[in-house]
């Protein structure tokens, strides 16, 4: 996958995530996005073979990123994280903040990517916003604003 293809996949996954979240969120979600990225949340063993691993990414979080910044950050030596959980986090300054939780294993092999969407092999797994304890099906929640 080339970086421009990854960027396109990020944009498509963002829109799917955004549309999905509207089913659960009472807040008005702007259709302008910024990203919050947590790197290497899988804290992978450095002895794993077949993947690039960046231990300096442990506990590293970045915010207020544009989609092009995200693509530049996550596309490394032709490889991307094998999974990226994507969800709506909050609304900040008239922008919907999209949270990305990223694996620490990077690969350029599509068979290593965890998710499939509409016959597209992808590292992106669309997740819903965090629902509070006791949430009842059909109720919409309010997001915590930054």
Q: How confident is the model at residue 38 (pLDDT cuts 50, 70, 90)?
A: very high
Long-range contacts of 128-137 (CB under 8 A, 24+ apart): 128/20, 128/21, 128/23, 128/24, 128/87, 129/21, 129/24, 129/25, 129/87, 129/88, 129/89, 130/87, 131/24
Whether the per-residue pLDDT at 121 is higher than 80: the answer is no
Whether the per-residue pLDDT at 35 is higher than 70: the answer is yes
CA 127/CA 44 separation, integer angstroms: 22
Whether the per-residue pLDDT at 105 is higher than 70: the answer is yes
Q: What is the pTM of this model?
A: 0.94
Q: Tell me the average pLDDT across 37-61.
A: 91
CA 25/CA 95 separation, integer angstroms: 15
Using a 10 angstrom Cβ sphere, with 0-12 exposed, 13-18 middle and 19 or more buried, the burial of residue 2 is: exposed
Non-local CB neighbours of 73 within 8 Å, separated by 6+ positions: 37, 62, 65
Whether the per-residue pLDDT at 31 is higher than 70: the answer is yes
Strand 84-92 to 95-102 pairing: antiparallel
pLDDT digit string, tens, across residues 50-93: 999 999 999 899 999 999 999 999 999 999 999 999 999 999 99
Cβ-contact 114, 141 below 8 angstroms: no
């Amino acid at each position: 996958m080339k970086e421009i293809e990854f960027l396109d996949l990020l944009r498509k996954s963002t829109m799917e995530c955004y549309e999905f979240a509207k089913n659960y969120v009472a807040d008005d979600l702007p259709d302008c996005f910024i990203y919050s990225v947590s790197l290497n949340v899988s804290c992978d063993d450095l002895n794993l073979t077949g993947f690039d691993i960046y231990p300096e990414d442990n506990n590293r979080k970045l915010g207020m990123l544009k989609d092009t910044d995200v693509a530049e950050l996550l596309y490394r030596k032709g490889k991307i994280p094998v999974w990226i959980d994507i969800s709506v986090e909050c609304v900040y300054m008239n922008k919907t903040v999209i949270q990305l939780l990223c694996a620490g294993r990077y690969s350029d092999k599509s068979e290593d990517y965890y998710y499939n969407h509409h016959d597209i092999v992808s590292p992106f797994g669309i997740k819903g916003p965090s629902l509070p304890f006791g949430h009842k099906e059909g109720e919409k929640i309010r997001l915590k604003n930054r």
